[in-house]
Chain A
């Protein structure tokens, strides 16, 4: 069966570190960075490389539209 693989790209400068994407991700793929962006926020990052399935939950709940999601099937 084909497996679905996903990846997210976070606009870390736009991110406000609100954590809504962190709790929305069913696979616990996202965490806030220890570092801060220019606005002083701990930005969100995809911290687990292999687990994301591209479900778009994180991006849907992000109030600032910081997350872009990609998804593909692998045999």
Chain B
């Protein structure tokens, strides 16, 4: 059978989600952000919420997500996405409202907004891309940077005596009354990607059913900031990030 006989519309089994437009994404080759963008687009399409979804974009590498996914977006000041999402969801309770935030955005400058929105039980979802670094600004240390990990601002490796310990926001979120679903996922293999997609779907459904706030952490790579190839970065993540940031559901209030 020739390749051309297989490539027919009736045999199509996978294509880029429709909500992801053809604008070239500015991300470095192999960056986890793109994979998570695709999952968000797929889930919104499968839920039929194309016209009801409102995302709040962060400051960080994902600042331009509004150029890539064709839904409504609001751009928030650095770290303030959960506060902006609170307002949108309260004014438009019928809409699907979520934030998309990096670890610098969410776990440093936006810690207060994040914890209080989750604790208030706002019916939103926070998608949290934890690549343990400030990617956009050139690879500085983040609150999430692992002990011993080298960055531009801890070139000899993070030393708890100087920079303190990495912050596990997701564990904190699981303790809060207002959260319905808190989970930690990853997107480096097809199996992990399928799980992460299910988690995003569950979080979005919870928020539409008024069950409370939802946090989906995605342990991610920043191959540029980590100064590795994309393939090596995925391996490094599995070996170094997963032991400290173990995958799985931390809370599921059925």
Contacts and interface: CB of A to CB of B under 8 A. Distances in A.
A65 B17 contact: yes
A65 B21 CA distance: 10
B34 A60 contact: no
A46 B30 CA distance: 18
Contacts of B13: 6, 54, 56, 69-71
A35 interface: no
Interface of B: 1, 3, 5-8, 11-17, 20, 22, 24-25, 27-35, 38, 187-190, 193-194, 229-231, 234
Given A6-B6, A7-B6, 17 more contacts: A7-B7, A16-B30, A17-B29, A18-B29, A23-B231, A46-B3, A54-B13, A56-B14, A60-B190, A60-B194, A61-B187, A61-B193, A63-B31, A63-B35, A64-B34, A68-B16, A69-B12
Contact of A70 (B11, B16, B234): B11
From DSSP, what is the main secondary structure of chain A's interface residues? mixed
A20 B32 CA distance: 11
B6 A5 contact: yes
B190 A69 contact: no
Interface string A1-37: 0000111010000101111100110000000000000
Contact of B29 (A24, A41, A59): A41
B7 A70 contact: yes
B6 A64 contact: no
29 contacts: A7-B3, A14-B24, A16-B28, A16-B29, A17-B29, A18-B29, A20-B230, A20-B234, A49-B3, A56-B13, A56-B190, A59-B14, A60-B190, A61-B188, A61-B190, A63-B25, A63-B30, A63-B33, A64-B24, A64-B27, A65-B15, A68-B14, A69-B12, A70-B6, A70-B11, A71-B6, A71-B11, A71-B13, A72-B6
Given A16-B30, A54-B13, A70-B6, A64 B231 contact: no
A65 B190 CA distance: 14
Contacts of A16: 28-30
Contacts of B189: 24, 61
A66 B12 CA distance: 14
B1 A5 contact: yes
Contacts of A65: 15-17, 20, 34, 38
B17 A19 contact: no
B30 A69 contact: no
A21 B24 CA distance: 18
A63 B12 contact: no
Contacts of A39: 24
Given A14-B24, A61-B193, A68 B29 contact: no
Nearest to B12: A70
B12 to A, nearest CB: 6
Contacts of B193: 60-61
A58 to B, nearest CB: 9
A20 B25 CA distance: 16
